[in-house]
Amino acid sequence: MTNSVFAARQRSWSGVALVLSGLLAIALLIPSTRFQAWHAWWLHPVPAFWILVALLPALVLLVILISHRYYALRDRERLALLDNIVDSMPDVVFLKDLDGVYCIANQRARTGTGIDPLNKTDFELFEPDVARRHRDVDLETIRLGKGHRNEEWVSTRDGKKLLLETSKTPLYNAMGRCIGVLGVSRDITELRKAQNNLEHIAHHDALTGLANRTLLSKKFDFALRLARRRDEPLAVIFFDLDRFKDINDTLGHDVGDLLLQEVALRLRRNLRDSDLCARLGGDEFILVLPGSGEREELQRKANQLLRAVSRPYEIKGHVLTVFASAGISIFPEDGRDVETLIRHADAALHQAKENGRNGFFFYERSLTDSLYSRMTLEQDLRHALEQRQFTMVYQPQFRLGEARPRRVEALMRWHHPRRGNISPLEFIAIAETTGMIIEIGEWAMETACRQFLTWRQQNVRLDKIAINVSAIQINSGFADRVLLLLKELDFDPRSLELEITETAMMSGIIEVNRQINQLRAHGVEFSIDDFGTGYSSLSKIKSMPVSLLKIDQSFVRDINDDINDYEIARAVILMAKSLGLTVVAEGVENQAQESTLQRLGCDWVQGYLYGMPLTGEAFVETYRQS
């Protein structure tokens, strides 16, 4: 990139200066010797003054020449240094003259694209349309007299695609006249990939690759504005897997994550390109279907999605079958903004779950009232906890063939001041969601244990009292709190049985197992409530730290009418017996059920056939021993 023209001109002027200095010295010497014979001029020396005068111009020019040489060498060193600096730059640096010819190009420009651009124009280097675009930018930069920046993809000779960010600025000489365009091009291919990756991460769910809440909000809002402009309907489907938490708790989060990925894939495959599928978190998905508003069409689509999701999955050696529920809202009748449509679809989803799961439900106005009722119930539940509006009732458990109970289960009841009796299925779920179950559970355990001790004083002899415990209660410190309570009450731990759901027992959470084992070491027994309704297999019973299984009443109810219920009950009893576990059948209501259970070898029974849940006082009146 050295300026060779400047160096050549410098050498020319140096030669001219040397010749002129010699001629001038001769001219000054001639006058002092013209009257003397040429052959004898050396016999009469010229005075030193005239010699000095004659040589002074030559000396001055010699000094100037040396100075020029010094500055030229210094400039060449600076130019060489500048060359090295520019050549070492990772960016492409180039200079074009007014005709578009590349006058200067650094090493990166000569080798980066595999083409040496020196003394060439863009029309000799690129395709005509690309060259014309470059030339137009150059001319515009010169005309406007200000810089220009753009991005473009270019291809190297080896076929590699590069994204270049090019900045161009007009270059002026000392006279202020534009002499060309200076350009710098930077390879931002990897930078753009990183930016795109960050953009994708910011707008997509990391697990499934679906849109996240942020992207959902943007795209949903755009789809809604488009629907308004076109006067078209739009449907929202709030999608949720049924009992997905059970899979996470029993098989682990790795299996649960893989299942979510497969579900997301199936949902995408059953949607149009124009549809939007987003994951809100957990097992919740939102589907936005522009142009869809006919209920029959949406029913077909919902059934198609539910069937796709319910097909078996093979994940890490497990064959899983899961079901889903969906709630549907439609623009504009069910809402005119994103938040309202999603909220109403969510309300419809909850109704679908209450209807039995594995189905869908369209939003109705009454659902908003139901949701408001739930919120009100949550507030009332907090008040009930403060005012101690809960009561405990107790249902006896009998050994088959005996007339008197030897065990009892404590059950919680809530009598609402305005709404009357609230089902435990309703308020326990809210208590677990809000975390109030911890305080409620502690109250229930203390109340039941005190009642058990009171019965003994009243001559009601029972071996054990069973109390239901939520998995949420079994956190760090649970065992210590229970043992402290038993110590304060002087309650024998061997008389206490804690019922925990199958799902919680199979959660595999280290802390849960530690708390259970700590209590078992002091004599507290554990039983599995509603066995058979979770995701564990019979073969896993042996790994559970329990001494008793309770067959869920859903299997007992039709044990004589449904062969599947019969076989499940039979398998549970046989497996439990082989492991030395006690079996209690819940919900026994008639003699036929009792006979079948007795024939299968069931130990204990509980149900309306033997006794209704009673208050503590009524229990004493009924079962006091004389």
103 versus 535: the higher-pLDDT residue is 103
Band of pLDDT at residue 219, cut at 50, 70 and 90: very high
63-73 pLDDT, tens digit each: 677 766 666 66
Last residue of a domain, one of 86, 106, 137: 86
Instruction: Write down the pLDDT at residue 203.
Output: 85
Q: How many Å apart are CA 298 and CA 291, to the nearest integer?
A: 11
Residue at 180 is within a domain:
yes
Instruction: Write down the pLDDT at residue 546.
Output: 86
Q: How many domains does the chain have?
A: 4
- For 436-463, what is the mean pLDDT? 94
Instruction: Write down the pLDDT at residue 59.
Output: 65
Residue at 527 is within a domain:
yes
Residue at 197 is within a domain:
no
Residue type, 487: K
- For 257-277, what is the mean pLDDT? 94
Last residue of a domain, one of 192, 213, 242: 192
Whose structure tokens read 């908003």?
Answer: 368
Tell me, yes or no, whether 423 and 555 share the same domain: yes
- For 93-107, what is the mean pLDDT? 89
Tell me, yes or no, whether 526 and 604 share the same domain: yes
Rounded (10°) angle between helices 424-434 and 365-387: 80
DSSP letter at 159? S
Q: How many Å apart are CA 91 and CA 108, to the nearest integer?
A: 7
Tell me, yes or no, whether 342 and 234 share the same domain: yes
Residue at 597 is within a domain:
yes
Tell me, yes or no, whether 266 and 309 share the same domain: yes
Q: How many Å apart are CA 463 and CA 461, to the nearest integer?
A: 7
Residue at 199 is within a domain:
no
Could you tell me which residues are beta bridge partners of residue 394?
410, 614
Tell me, yes or no, whether 94 and 44 share the same domain: no
- For 354-375, what is the mean pLDDT? 80
Instruction: Write down the pLDDT at residue 3.
Output: 43
Instruction: Write down the pLDDT at residue 243.
Output: 81
Instruction: Write down the pLDDT at residue 71.
Output: 62
CATH number of the structural domain spanning residue 144: 3.30.450.20
DSSP letter at 45? P
Tell me, yes or no, whether 110 and 208 share the same domain: no
Mean pLDDT of the chain: 83
CATH number of the structural domain spanning residue 441: 3.20.20.450
Q: How many Å apart are CA 311 and CA 299, to the nearest integer?
A: 19
Band of pLDDT at residue 207, cut at 50, 70 and 90: very high
Whose structure tokens read 């309306």?
Answer: 608
Burial of 586 (0-12, 13-18, 19+ CB in 10 A): buried
Tell me, yes or no, whether 383 and 511 share the same domain: yes
Band of pLDDT at residue 218, cut at 50, 70 and 90: very high
Instruction: Write down the pLDDT at residue 539.
Output: 55
Range of the domain at 121: 89-192
CB 58 within 8 A of CB 22: yes
540-588 pLDDT, tens digit each: 666 778 889 898 888 899 999 989 889 989 988 998 888 889 999 999 9
12-63 pLDDT, tens digit each: 444 544 444 554 445 544 444 444 444 444 444 556 566 666 666 666 666 6
Instruction: Write down the pLDDT at residue 6.
Output: 39
Residue at 198 is within a domain:
no
Q: How many Å apart are CA 247 and CA 320, to the nearest integer?
A: 9
Tell me, yes or no, whether 400 and 285 share the same domain: no
Band of pLDDT at residue 535, cut at 50, 70 and 90: very low
Tell me, yes or no, whether 393 and 433 share the same domain: yes
349, 351, 357, 361 alpha-carbon torsion, rounded to 10°: -70
Tell me, yes or no, whether 429 and 535 share the same domain: yes
Residue 612 pLDDT exceeds 90: yes
DSSP letter at 11? H
Last residue of a domain, one of 192, 222, 250: 192
Residue 119 pLDDT exceeds 50: yes
Q: What percent of the chain has pLDDT over 90?
A: 44
Rounded (10°) angle between helices 478-489 and 510-520: 20
Tell me, yes or no, whether 552 and 465 share the same domain: yes
Residue at 369 is within a domain:
no
Tell me, yes or no, whether 289 and 161 share the same domain: no
Instruction: Write down the pLDDT at residue 193.
Output: 85
Instruction: Write down the pLDDT at residue 41.
Output: 45
The highest-confidence range among 43-47, 148-152, 511-515, 521-525, by mean pLDDT, is 521-525
Could you tell me which residues are beta bridge partners of residue 336?
none
Residue at 48 is within a domain:
yes
CATH number of the structural domain spanning residue 233: 3.30.70.270
Residue 204 pLDDT exceeds 80: yes
Whose structure tokens read 């073969």?
Answer: 539
DSSP letter at 212? -
